[in-house]
Amino acid sequence: MKLARYSIGILATLILAGHAAPAQDAAAEAELEEEAAEAADTDGGGGDGFREWESVTGAKIEAEFVQEKYGYVTLQGKDGKLAKIRKSMLSRADQEWIDGHAAAGEGTGAVLPPDKPNHLPVFADGPWKGQHAVYVHKNFDAVLSRTGYLYVYPKTDNERTGKRLRYGLWCYFIDTSRTPPQHTARRVIRFDDPPAPVMQPDEMEFTGLLRDNVEFTLRFDFDDDRISSYGWVHDPEGLRDYTRFRTGVWIPKSHNIPDQMPMSEQRELLKDYRVEVKPVDGGLERYPYSKYMTEGEMNINAKEVEIMGPLFGERHIRIYAQSTDDAPIRPWVYRGNAPWQGFFVGLYKREPDSHASSQRMVLKIE
């Protein structure tokens, strides 16, 4: 019997038919696609040349191996197109080939230098190609990208669960040249002497410049199931609008809810999800994931924020401030939005240029 051969796109469609990834993997899939594209653009694929791949259904394709990550295999066809396929849907022989490739190619330690002033050096090959740093824990993977953001992926039984958290520097200023004054991001424009890529760091420190030549320092510390951050900024003399130092975690949108869904159905869908906030002044505030916020409703100085419910499988997310007197944390939701649409928890320092290491926020994944 002659087995059919397909284009890379058709093969992926056939293999994945009826085997779609769970909804909670959507963000991870997007990240995999970005990483696979970077891998292919960097060295034209995995460097092993084209070979014939076969699915468990007998479909075949000539393609080049790009990467295997988190149970997915990325292949690049002769037309240059990429396809992401579940490893389990490939033939046993192909799975064994991939396992052998991984065992033989954990990475040489080679480094790619930054391609932009506001980028960091990254691993040139291996399973974490294109990343600056990786911290692997049984509860999560934390991956520092070339842009300096730390993407945190909660895990259960070594499988990623839920969507990724984005942890990093979110400095801003109030632009008084506009009417009314406007909250404006002050982004990184340059890293100074960035460290080399690293696996399992205990600590990482970055310095450089933000927009308008504002000097910054950002530090991450890794301790078991906790990642803490602190830092400071220094404005140049004569800067009109001073910089507000802020490091924080963005918690992404949890569900895809159509606009026309009645509120009663939204509340039922989200009944097990809520945000619990412990204000600096004491007490406990509970915000259902289905509650649409008025101006500043959840934006209060806090010592701790917890995400309750099965959003990250068995993992429990807690964010807290180490020193609430000088640097409390503050949850924030866009006016008119609900927590299910995504929200931010940030550290707000009363003295942006203070070097006190106690003025930090901690992300704990239990």
Render pLDDT for 203-253 as a digit per residue (tens, 0 to 9): 999 999 999 999 999 999 999 999 999 999 999 999 999 999 999 999 999
Question: Would the pLDDT of 47 be above 60?
Answer: no
Render pLDDT for 253-268 as a digit per residue (tens, 0 to 9): 999 999 899 999 999 9
* pLDDT reported for residue 105: 46
Question: Would the pLDDT of 356 be above 90?
Answer: yes
Residue 111 located in a structural domain = no
- Token readout for 354 is 């203070």
CA dist 151 and 49 (Å) reads: 31
Residue 197 located in a structural domain = yes
Question: Would the pLDDT of 1 be above 80?
Answer: no
Range of the domain at 32: 8-104
* pLDDT reported for residue 33: 52
Q: Are residue 81 and residue 132 in the same domain, yes or no?
A: no
Across all residues in the chain, what is the average pLDDT? 85
Report residue 86's pLDDT band, with 50, 70 and 90 as the boundaries. Answer: confident
Q: Are residue 282 and residue 311 in the same domain, yes or no?
A: yes
Q: Are residue 201 and residue 334 in the same domain, yes or no?
A: yes
Count Cβ atoms within 10 A of the Cβ of residue 3 and give its class: 0-12 exposed, 13-18 middle, 19 or more buried: exposed
Q: Are residue 286 and residue 355 in the same domain, yes or no?
A: yes
Report residue 279's pLDDT band, with 50, 70 and 90 as the boundaries. Answer: very high
Burial string for 99-110 (b: 16+ CB within 10 Å, else e) reads: eeeeeeeeeeee
Q: Are residue 294 and residue 340 in the same domain, yes or no?
A: yes
Question: Would the pLDDT of 21 be above 70?
Answer: no
Render pLDDT for 329-351 as a digit per residue (tens, 0 to 9): 999 998 999 999 999 999 999 99
CA dist 127 and 107 (Å) reads: 7
* pLDDT reported for residue 25: 43
Q: Per the structure, how many domains does the chain have?
A: 2
Contact 170, 361 (CB under 8 A): no
Neighbours of 332 (CB within 10 A): 16
Q: Are residue 145 and residue 284 in the same domain, yes or no?
A: yes
* Amino acid of residue 154: P
User: What is the DSSP track for 197-261?
Assistant: PEES-SEEEEEEEEGGGEEEEEEEEEETTEEEEEEEEEPPTT-SS--B-EEEEEEPP-----TTS
Q: Are residue 150 and residue 298 in the same domain, yes or no?
A: yes
CA dist 64 and 50 (Å) reads: 4
CA dist 23 and 283 (Å) reads: 35
Q: For 80-106, what is the mean pLDDT?
A: 76
- Token readout for 338 is 């609900």
Question: Would the pLDDT of 11 be above 90?
Answer: no
pTM of the shown model? 0.72
